[in-house]
Structure 1
Amino acid sequence: MKNPDPHDFLALEQLMDEEERMVARTVRELVTEQLAPQLGDWFEKGEFPRELATEFGKLGMLGMHLSGYGCAGMSAVSYGSACLELEAGDSGLRSFVSVQGSLAMFPIWKFGSEEQKQEWLPRMAAGEVIGCFGLTEPDSGSDPSSMRTVARQDGDDWILNGTKMWITNGSIADMAIIWARTDEGIRGFIVDTTTPGFTANTVRHKMSLRASVTSELVLDNVRLPADAVLPGVTGMKGPLSCLNEARFGILFGAVGAARNCYETALDYTMSRTQFGRSLASFQLTQDKLADMLIRVNRAHLLALHLGKLKDAGELTPAQISFGKKDNVAQALHVAREARAMLGANGITLEYPIIRHMNNLESVYTYEGTNEVHTLVLGQSITGMGAFR
C-alpha cells in the first residue's frame, strides 16, 4: 500500500460526491491560479476588488446553497467546500461570498415576498448587485437584541434611524439588509444604499481582514416604502437564522486557512536546510507537522459531517456553534505554529501565513465570539442559559 497523501491524509475526498469534489477543485483552481498571486498586495493595500463579485457570480458561487431565482441550488457540502477553498486563499474572499449568500441573499430567499425575491436574488446571484448585512452596532455586538436602530411607520412608509458597525461589504454594497427595532419587534428591511440618509463609512487602519471591506453604516431618517420590510419574520429568529447560515460557511472556511498554513509549513521545511539537513528531518519539526496534520484533518472531517447533517435537514444551531468554535480555534493554533516554523519569513506577505493568522483573530470573534459559542454549547447540554 502506498503512503497516505500528506495533503489529504484521511482520504476525505472519498466522503464527497462527484459534484462536491468538482466544486472544490474548481474553486481551488480559481484561487491558486488567479487570485493567490494578488492576495498579498490586496491585503497590504487594504482593498477588495469589486469585480470579483461578477467572477464569483459566473461560477455560481453566490447564494449557491439556495434554490431558484438564478441560484445554483447545490448541497451544503458543496457550499462549505467552496468556502474552504476560498479561505485557503484569504478569509476576505470567503467573507465576501458568505455575506452575499448567507447574510444578504438568504433572508430575502427565506423571509422575503415573491416580488422581493424576483427583484433582488437573480442580480445578486450574478454578482451584479452586492449586499451587506446590518445587525451589529457600536454598543451591541454579542447581545444584538439590545440594538438601538429603530424603524417607525409614517403613513405607509418606514423611517429608519441608527448606526451599524463592522459591516462586511458595507462601502461597496448596492443594498443592505438592516435589522431594526419596531413596535412589533425586530424586523428586517431591504435598503437601497443610494437612499437619502444612508451613509457607509469604510473602517480604516485594520490589521486583520484587510483584503475585505469593513464599514460603519449610518441611517439618518432613511425613508423606505412599505414593501421594503421582509414580511416573513418578526423577532430575533430572523437575523439569528442568517448568522447560522454564515457560521456554517465559517466552520468550513477555517479548515481552508489551516490547511494552507500547514501545507506552506510543510513545503518550507522540506526545502529549507539548516545544520546541513532539511528542517523537516528534525524531530521537533516533525512533531509540529504531525500535530498540524491531525488538527487540519480532524477539522475537515467535522466540517464534512456537519455538512451531511445539514443536507439531511438535521443540523442544529448548537452543532454549528460546535463546529465554528472548535475549527476556528484549531486553525488559529495551526497558523501560529506555522508562523513560528517559518521564522522571520513567516511575518512577510511573501508567504500567506501572517495573513491567515491575522485574519483568524477576527474570525475567532465575529459571527459570535468564542465565548458566546461556548455558552451556546453549555446551554445545549445543560438546558440552562448562562448569557446573563
Structure 2
Amino acid sequence: MKLTVNLGKNSYPIYIENNILSQAASYIADVFSGKRIMIISDDQVFPLYGEKLIAGLSDSYECHHVVLPHGEATKDFQTLPGVYSAMLNAKISRSDLVIALGGGVIGDLAGFAASSYLRGVKLVQIPTSLLAQVDSSVGGKVAVDLPQGKNLVGAFYQPALVLIDPLVLNTLEERFISDGMGEVIKYGCIKDAQLFHTLESHSSFDDLKEELPAIIQRCVDIKRVVVEHDQFDTGERMLLNFGHTLGHTIEQHFNYGRESHGEAVSIGMYQLTLLAEAQGLTASGTADRIRKVLDIYGLPHACNLPLRDLTAAIALDKKNLNNKLNIILLHDIGSSYIHPATIEFFNQYDQNI
C-alpha cells in the first residue's frame, strides 16, 4: 500500500507493507543517491532490527549508527550534542542520509537532528512502534524536550520517505501496543466515526489484530490529508492535538516516568470531553463512549491529579498563543472542532482528573 503526502517539493511516499523492512534498500534508492547513511535507533529496537537493516543497505552504502537509551528521557535537548558528534565523526555531509529507526522518541529526536545538522540532511522514517506508525512518523513535526515542557524545541521537517512494516509490532511489549492505541482512538474521535465504531466492536487488541494493517492505513491517510491542508499547524492540523494539551502536562508532571504518551493522551481525551460536556460544548454521552473504548484497549482514563496542578504547564504550552488556548473538542464522535479559550477553561474546576 502506497500513500503520497502531496506538499509540492516536500512531497513524499509512505509505504505500508508486511516485511518491507527487509526490502528497505530498494525503496531508499528511489529517494537517495548519496554515499553515507547514519541510522539513529535505541537499545531496544536496534538489537532486533538494526543489523537486519544494515545488512540490506551495506552493499550500496557506507552505514553508521548511533544507539541511544530507550524512553522519553532520551528525547532531551542534552542528547543532541552526542548525536551531532557521531554524525561529524562519521563525516555525514549534506548529501548524506539519516534514518530514524524506532518509535516516536527516536523519530522526533533523529528528525530534529537531521533538520538542524548542517541546516538539513535528508531523512527517512522507519517507525517501529504502533504510535509512531499511525501518527508521529508522518507529517514532519520533529522536536526535543526541555525541562519546562515537551517538544518546546523543534521544527517542521518532512521526511523523504516513510516505511511502515506492521510485522515489527509483534515484538512490542503489550504496554506499547496500548500506547499506540491511544492515538488510533484519537483518529476515530476527531475524524472517523466508523473507525471508532470498529474499535468499539472488538473485545481486545488481539481481537482487533487481523484488521491492524487497514487501521494503520486509515490513520495515516487521515493524517496525510490533514497535513496536506495545513502543513505548519495553524488551522485544521490542530485537530490532531485532541487530548494532547492535558496529556503533555500529565507526562511532564511525572517527568515522563509514569504515563506513556498514549496513556497520557487517553486521559486527556476523556477528561477534556467530560469538562466540555459539563459546559454544553460536546454531546452528552461522548465521554462515556471514549471511556469504554479506552477500557477495551487497556488504557487509563484518570491519573488522580488536581487539575489546578497542571494549569501552569498548560500556560507554557506551544498552543497557548497570546494567552489564548486553542482547545480541541468534539461535537460528537468523529466530529471535532477548535474551541478558542483561555486558561480559565481549566481553572474554573477544582477537582482531580
If the length of structure 2 is used for normalisation, what is the TM-score? 0.31
Higher strand share: 2
If the length of structure 1 is used for normalisation, what is the TM-score? 0.29
Q: Which has the larger radius of gyration?
A: 1
Higher helix share: 1
